[in-house]
Amino acid sequence: MLKLERKQGASGGYAEPADFCRVFKNEMKSLYLLAFLLTANHVKAEWCFLAAFADAGKETSVFEESASPWSRRAIIAHATRLTAPVSSHASKTSDLWDDTKGDSVASDVIDRLVQLSPLERFGYVLSVLEHYSDAECAALIGCTRAQVMQARLGALERLASVMLRPMLVEERRPLHHQNERAASAPSAAA
């Protein structure tokens, strides 16, 4: 029978700086996007990314297979300290994503996410996109579980109202406008 064994390096299964370099290189876009969604600012997102990368180079107690989740959590920790989402003085301004080469629908969604209040943004990104529990979100952000739930609900309501607005406007148009649009659309049989 063929037995596969994992080769143990000098690190004994712990992540080395090269492992973190690989994570930050291979996951650069998603790590930067996480930082941007949390900070809503390109300069702060870059700072979070670089600070987490610097921390990773010094880290000695992370298992190799946990290097990626550790890196995401480090970005979250730096974004939380930088943005202070629970503070009443948290910045309400945001940058646009400006993905001129990418998908405009995705860019629109990102732009709408970063326009949320900092607490709503953190609550939504951490619980919905990153799949943290409400208790984990509360611990990371420094607030109560109830605040996380309320922030996520507020984010979902705001996002839904913005995303559904064009469809609601379409429904309110007089029937003859909808019929004209249907008549001018190319037929599936053609």
pLDDT in tens, 120-156: 999 999 999 999 999 999 999 999 999 999 999 999 9
pLDDT in tens, 56-115: 989 989 999 999 999 999 999 999 999 988 876 555 666 666 755 556 778 888 889 999
Question: Do 155 and 121 have their domain in common?
Answer: yes
Question: Do 169 and 118 have their domain in common?
Answer: yes
Burial 109-135 (b: 16+ CB within 10 A, else e): ebbebbbbbbbbbbbbbbbeebebebe
Question: Do 75 and 105 have their domain in common?
Answer: no
- The verdict on residue 180 lying in a domain is no
Residue 138, helix vs strand vs coil: helix
Tell me the residue range of the domain where 56 lies: 13-84
- The verdict on residue 55 lying in a domain is yes
